[in-house]
Structures are given as C-alpha cells and as structure tokens.
Structure 1
Amino acid sequence: MKQAPILTVTLNPALDLSTGADKVEPDKKLRCDAPTVDPGGGGVNISRAIKVMGGDSIAFVALGGTTGRRMAELLEEGGIDWQQMRAPGETRQSLAVMDRDSGLQYRFVMPGPEWSSADVGKSIAHIIQAAQPGGLVVLSGSNPPGVPDDYAALLAAKLADGDAGLIVDTSGKALRAVADGGHNFALLRMDREEAEGLAGKHLPERTDTARFAAELVAAGAAKAVIVARGSDGNIIADSTGAWHAEAAKVEIVSKVGAGDSFLAGFTLGHARGLPIHDALGLAAAMASATCMTPATELCRREDVDRLFAARVVTAL
C-alpha cells in the first residue's frame, strides 16, 4: 500500500527488560522469570508497530555503549530499518515486573546519558538530513538529560524548509514549551491530565476536551491535536472539526507500548492518506490490540484488523 515516508526519532531509547515474579515485596530476593528483551523508546516502538502493520519507516536512534550495541542487534533482528547517531553515554535500560499475586505491573525507567548542546545540534542536523520531502517525522518519548524543553520547536524550525510534517508526542515541561503555538507541527498529542494542566481546568466531558483541542489548533500549536482520555477513548481536532474514537473493550494484559502503538497507528493512517477520523480509528485499534499482549510485546495484526473493522468514531 502506498504511503508517505516516515522517520521516527528516539533520542533516549531503552533496552526494555520484562519479567514476572510470584509477589513483589521489599527486602527479599525475588525469583523472577527469564526476561524478555526488546528494543524500546517511543520512536523505536512506533517503528516496530508500523512494521507489524505492513508499513515502512526509518528509525533514527541515538545509541551508546554496550547496551546500545545490544539494541542495535535487536533492531537488526527485528528487521527495522534504522539509522544511528552515537549517543554521549551508555544507552539506558528499563525494567517491567509483573506481580502475579496482585496482577499489578511495576515499571522502572532509568534517565539516560547527559547530552551537551553540541549533541543537540548534531542530532537536529542528522534528522534534517534523514527527513524526506513530503514525509512525516515522529518525535516521541522522553528527552535525555541536557536536551532543552523546546527541542521539538527547534526541530520544527529546521524542518520548515523541507516540506516534512512533524508529529510530536511529549509531556511535562517539554509539552508546555511548545503548546503556545507557532511551530507548524502536523500533530501534537497529549493525555487528558496534560491537557487539563495546560487548560488550567478540568475537562470532564468529551466536548470540553474537543473544544480545548480546537483552541490549540486555532492558536497554531499544531494543524491537529489529539487528547487521549484513557478508557474514555481519544479525541482529535483540526481546522475542519473534531472526532472521538472509542477505546475497544478488551482484556488488558499489559499497557506497555499502548501509547506508542496509538501514535504509530495514526501516523501510518495519515501517511497512507486515510481521512483523519479513520486514522484516529486505526490508532485506537492498535493501542487496544497492544493492551492485549504481554510485557513489551506490541500489537498483533489480526487483532488490529478486527478492532479497526469494529471501530466506533463519532463526529463531535
């Protein structure tokens, strides 16, 4: 199927380890299962999910040290098309542990290496070179220490002349640094709590969320804004209107990677020329399908196809 080029960006990747124990409790040696190991980080997971759905992307990944070399091996084994920038230190690791007694999952995430201003400039230069005209660049995941909060804005300014659209999924100070608008993003995504923090008020109803997203579009924050409302689904607004996609009712095994799979679905749908409401439906289907799989495994295509066929997307 024809699609526009996609470049995913992961500045702070992680080697994801997942395991399980009968019960997670302090001051004891916990006998765990043999770990599952996957390459992780926002953009990496997005590229993995796009591949599951038969799409194409290039993953731009900053890697360093022994862990970085292991990540590179896993990317190759997974058939991911990728480009590397040498990171200024050891690639981080993350650990997810399932407590079988309670059914709860514990997630431990390390910070990653410290970046200098020279590293920031080098990364932007690499991304500009790798981005293709008419394509999409997806910036997702946390910033490494030392990367400025307005990194997405800096990148958008450099991409402006190359006719590549920038999709941004960020949070905290980095979100606040770009939500004021004027950066010409193709899409800005956030969750309900982050949207309420920006709005300075609760957004209890779907119409409240849609109205706020539309206000961000009107202010020039992005051409489209998505707000994830958790179990209440997802809302998107652009200059033509707003839509809500229901979250499918599935058995939740693990939520790890669901947000990345969501963004992968929207990006792939958009790159394939789907109408915005159908791209939102594909995103919701891929997120729900990922919740059905264990640990750091992402969505399965047969689950996505079934959930997408049964999607419920409503104009607001």
Structure 2
Amino acid sequence: MKGDVVRDILTVTLNPALDLATSAPQVRPNEKLRCTQPDPDPGGGGLNVARAIHQLGGTARPFVALGGNTGDTVQQLLEKAGLDIIAYDAPGDTRQSLAVTDLSTSEQFRFMLAGPDWNAAQLQAMRMSLVSVTQPNGFVVLSGSGPNGAAPDLYAEICQDLSQTDAEILIDTSGPALAHLAAGQDRPPFMLRMDQREAETLARRPLVTRKDSADFAKYLVDQGAARTVIVARGRDGSVLADGQQQLRVNAANVEVRSRVGAGDSFLGGLTMALARDLPMEDAFRYGAAAASAACMTEGTQLCLLSDFENVLLQTQIETL
C-alpha cells in the first residue's frame, strides 16, 4: 500500500486473547484428540486490526487490556511482532482461545474462553485512560467483544467520551453491543461493520440479495447507528451505505485456508487507507483485498502484503 499516513490509528482491545491454532486428524466427541503443536498469536479484534495494518506496511497504536501470565505472553508476542502497544492493566488474567482444524473435512472449530470481570469503577477508569491516549482527528477502531461486566452501551459511551477529540470511530462488534448501536445514537460512530448473519438478526428477516443488505445498511444509517454501515456477505463480497451512495465490493476468488481474522483484516486495510487520505471507494477495495488475503493464510496469520497486492487487482467496486 502506497502513501503516507496522515492521521493516527488507535485500536482498542478490551477483551484480548492468546489465540492457539492447531489441527487434528479428525474431530470427534468423547475421544482424546491428538493435536499438532499449537501456533500462538495475540488475538482479539483490535489487536488483529493493528497486526493487519502492521503486516500491510502501516502503523497503528494498540491500546490493550492485559493481565496475568497469559497477558504477559500476549505482550511478548506483540512486541516480537514489532507493535508498540499501550498496555492497560486488566482486572484479571487474559483469556485464551483455541482454533482446531479437522483435517478430514477442513472444517474449523473455534473455542472462546471468558475473560476477566470488570466492575463499574474499573470500566470508568479505562474510559478516562482511553481519552487521554486518543490523538485529535485520528481514527479509533473498536473491534471485538467488550469486557465481561460491561453494559451493552459501552461502545456508545466511548463514542461520547471521544467526541471531544474529533476522532473518527470505527466499530465491529456483536450481540447486545451491536444491537444497542443499531438502535441509533446521539453521537453515532463514523462506521459500523457487521456480517450477514448479524445484519439478518437485527433486521429479523433474510437479506437475500446484495440490494437487500445495502438497503438495510442505509436504514441503519438513517436510524443513526453510524454515518457509514458495511455488511459483509462472505463470498458475495460486502456492501456499504453512507446515506449518499450504496456500493458493493467483490470478494476475490482465492483458496480459503482460514477465515480467522478476515473481518479484522478488512477493517485494518480500510482504516489504513482512510488514514492515508484515500477516498472511501479505494478504502472499501483495500478492506476487501485485505480480508481475502487473510483467508489465504493458515491459522491466525492474518493478511500478508504480497497476497494483498495480488488480490487487490481482482477487487472491484460497483454502485448498487
């Protein structure tokens, strides 16, 4: 990716994980499964976004809550990868997650353990710290689940907190936090991204066609969920609505080795392009190419620059 970064990128990970990726000849119940040596990676939405940006040749500042021995391991992995992190003390041990590939079917099973519990005072202190490290007119990426103990409005409250900084906030979350944002906010974030299943859950109906997804994205914009909404439709690409236009970007035709981190790679490629002052259409393409590149790597490796540059040539925008 070419161009100089002109705006800061801060990624926020409040419930990180030590991701372990392994494989077994076959995944069957009630048996001891002999797995290969696990590959460890720092995980959690915001960390994956920062790692993707770094692997694409850019820079992001990861704000990450870490605790215990597992947190120490995650920090060491991040530093080894060349990331300059802003470590925040979590109130308990950092969680772990496990991805196991069944070699007989190529299906992947993903097990996500719970992180530490936060109380109201701890959450408030974290929010104040986050404001203090946010640079004016930068980008802030809130990706992944919030910490245990947080109310569904946590990300919406962070949007309020950061309004004084003029930062543009991009959010990719799920469950009650996503539902709260989708209902509309007084200070909507710059961007909200979700996958097709999440969009259909919010819409309470199937979104069969690309136009169905794009129209629902526009509905969310009109509701005040965000100024721009993206719905990822898997192999059918992604659609975007911002109140003025509806766009679709295709997904490159690649061999899928792992979908872990594809959505975070999308957000990383898109945010990095925006930080380099590229127009939204180009940023949308870069996000899609980064997601496709992530699918080409094993386990939790995310997107590689060489793969990204190749699939970008296959990535096109159309108006819906």
DSSP-derived class of the 1:34 partner: coil
Match of 2:167 in 1: 164
Per-residue deviation, 1:286: 0.6
Residues 10-59 of structure 1, C-alpha deviations (whole Å, 9 max, x = no match): 00000011111111222332221111011110000100000011111100
Match of 1:267 in 2: 271
DSSP-derived class of the 1:139 partner: strand
Per-residue deviation, 1:264: 0.7
**Among 104, 107, 122, the residue aligned to 2:107:** 104
Question: Would the aligned equivalents of 1:111 and 1:144 in 2 still touch at CA under 8 Å?
Answer: no
**Structure 2: distance between partners of 1:248 and 1:21:** 29
**Among 50, 61, 64, the residue aligned to 1:61:** 64
**Structure 1: distance between partners of 2:125 and 2:169:** 18
Per-residue deviation, 1:217: 1.5
DSSP-derived class of the 2:215 partner: helix
Moved more, 6-15 or 94-103: 94-103
**Structure 2: distance between partners of 1:228 and 1:122:** 34
Matches within 5 A, 1:9-28: 9-28=12-31
**Among 137, 151, 157, the residue aligned to 1:148:** 151
Query: Does residue 234 in structure 1 map to residue 238 in structure 2?
Result: yes
**Structure 2: distance between partners of 1:214 and 1:174:** 19
Task: Report the AA paired with residue 55 of structure 2.
Answer: V
**Structure 2: distance between partners of 1:221 and 1:177:** 9
**Structure 1: distance between partners of 2:224 and 2:23:** 45
**Structure 2: distance between partners of 1:162 and 1:285:** 30
Match of 2:132 in 1: 129
Per-residue deviation, 1:231: 1.4
Per-residue deviation, 1:111: 1.2
**Structure 1: distance between partners of 2:175 and 2:298:** 28
Q: For structure 1, which runs of at least 5 residues remain unmatched after alignment?
A: none
**Among 27, 32, 37, the residue aligned to 1:29:** 32
**Structure 2: distance between partners of 1:106 and 1:192:** 20
Moved more, 39-48 or 193-202: 193-202
Identity of aligned residues (%): 48
Per-residue deviation, 1:303: 0.8
Question: Would the aligned equivalents of 1:46 and 1:263 in 2 still touch at CA under 8 Å?
Answer: yes
Match of 1:6 in 2: 9
Provide closer, same or farther for how the CA distance between residues 199 and 26 of structure 1 changes in structure 2, counting only shifts above 3 A: closer
**Structure 2: distance between partners of 1:119 and 1:228:** 34
Q: For structure 2, which runs of at least 5 residues remain unmatched after alignment?
A: none
**Among 299, 306, 310, the residue aligned to 2:310:** 306
DSSP-derived class of the 2:86 partner: strand
**Among 79, 83, 86, the residue aligned to 1:80:** 83
**Structure 1: distance between partners of 2:279 and 2:262:** 22
Question: Would the aligned equivalents of 1:6 and 1:58 in 2 still touch at CA under 8 Å?
Answer: yes
Q: Which runs of at least 4 in structure 1 moved beyond 3 Å after TM superposition? A: none
Match of 1:193 in 2: 197
Per-residue deviation, 1:143: 1.5
Match of 2:219 in 1: 215
Match of 2:256 in 1: 252
Per-residue deviation, 1:220: 2.0
Residues 86-145 of structure 1, C-alpha deviations (whole Å, 9 max, x = no match): 111110000111111121111111011111111111111111111111101000001221
**Among 139, 144, 168, the residue aligned to 2:142:** 139
**Structure 2: distance between partners of 1:292 and 1:121:** 40
Match of 1:285 in 2: 289
Residues 45-81 of structure 1, C-alpha deviations (whole Å, 9 max, x = no match): 1000000111111000000000001111111101011
Query: Does residue 206 in structure 1 map to residue 210 in structure 2?
Result: yes
With normalisation by structure 1, the TM-score equals 0.97
Task: Report the AA paired with residue 180 of structure 1.
Answer: A
**Structure 2: distance between partners of 1:128 and 1:134:** 13
Moved more, 91-100 or 210-219: 210-219
Per-residue deviation, 1:254: 0.7
Root-mean-square deviation (Å): 1.1
Number of residue equivalences: 316
Per-residue deviation, 1:199: 2.1
**Structure 2: distance between partners of 1:209 and 1:27:** 41
Query: Does residue 120 in structure 1 map to residue 123 in structure 2?
Result: yes
With normalisation by structure 2, the TM-score equals 0.96
